[in-house]
């Protein structure tokens, strides 16, 4: 009677070594897949944040109105435009309260903030705390284009020189962290005061 066949110790060690290698490869593949999934989720979330910020800016700036707060004698500004800060007046959607507000866009500590002040006649009452529109903004460059009181095209300027007048368009450029690029936005104001006489 012949003895039963079996595995030698060497064969068992070889098989165990192969199983260990396969397990290591599978584990590495799973870790890489999880990292790729997490990265894709972060990118998608960041993309949604950027698009939401751009949507708000397009809607809000395009609806800017030639309103002012303060003493009418002193000709208070209707629109203040600087490279990293913008102040204008306009409506908010009914879904977030409605009404007319002074809205100020500011870059502070790599955060794009918007501050609201509710209009009450010639006065503006601060409304709530500054809201973070977008985080991880490394740089912001706002520029403005319109017509001078004499009707001349201003070209793109970093500081809007006629705060008593609305520009025709606002250009928004930004550098972001997080892998999602900011596509340069040009927002045209719906209310065209290009033919407005010199105040």
What string of DSSP letters covers 117-168?
EEEETTEEEEEEEEEEEEE-EEEEEEEEE-B-TTS-B--SBSS-S-TTS--S
Q: Which pair of structure tokens corresponds to residue 92?
A: 């908010």
Q: What is the pLDDT of residues 66-89, one digit of tens each?
A: 987 765 656 778 999 999 999 999
State the CB neighbour count (10 A cutoff) for residue 103: 22
Q: Which pair of structure tokens corresponds to residue 86?
A: 């913008």
Q: What is the pLDDT of residues 113-127, one digit of tens each?
A: 999 998 877 677 777
Q: Is pTM beyond 0.85 here?
A: no
Q: What is the pLDDT of residues 138-195, one digit of tens each?
A: 999 999 999 999 999 999 999 999 999 999 999 999 999 978 899 999 999 987 554 4
Separation CA 39–CA 52 (nearest Å): 20
55 compared with 194, residue with greater pLDDT: 55
Helices (runs of H) and strands (runs of E) counted in the chain: 1, 8
What's the mean per-residue pLDDT of the chain? 85
Q: Give the largest CA-CA distance in the chain.
A: 119
pLDDT-derived band of residue 42, with 50, 70 and 90 as boundaries? confident
CA-nearest of 144, 197, 187, 152 to 56 is 187
- How much is the average pLDDT of 36-53? 84
Separation CA 34–CA 32 (nearest Å): 5
State the CB neighbour count (10 A cutoff) for residue 124: 20
Q: Which pair of structure tokens corresponds to residue 98?
A: 């409605």
Q: Which pair of structure tokens corresponds to residue 21?
A: 């290698």
Partner residues linked to 181 by β-bridges: none
């Amino acid at each position: 009677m012949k003895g039963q066949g079996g595995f030698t110790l060497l064969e068992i060690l070889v098989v165990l070594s192969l199983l260990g290698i396969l397990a290591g490869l599978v584990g590495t593949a799973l870790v890489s897949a999880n990292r790729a999934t997490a990265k894709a989720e972060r990118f998608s979330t960041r993309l949604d944040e950027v698009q939401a910020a751009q949507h708000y800016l397009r809607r809000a700036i395009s609806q800017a109105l030639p309103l002012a707060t303060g003493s009418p004698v002193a000709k208070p500004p209707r629109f203040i435009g600087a490279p990293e800060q913008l102040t204008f007046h306009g409506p908010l959607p009914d879904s977030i309260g409605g009404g007319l507000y002074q809205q100020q866009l500011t870059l502070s500590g790599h955060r794009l903030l918007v501050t609201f002040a509710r209009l009450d006649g010639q006065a503006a009452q601060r409304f709530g705390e500054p809201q973070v529109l977008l985080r991880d903004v490394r740089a912001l460059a706002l520029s403005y284009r319109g017509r001078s009181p004499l009707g001349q095209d201003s070209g793109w300027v970093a500081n809007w020189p006629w705060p008593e007048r609305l520009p025709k368009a606002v250009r928004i450029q930004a550098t972001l962290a997080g892998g999602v690029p900011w596509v340069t936005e040009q927002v045209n104001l719906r209310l065209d005061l290009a033919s407005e006489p010199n105040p």
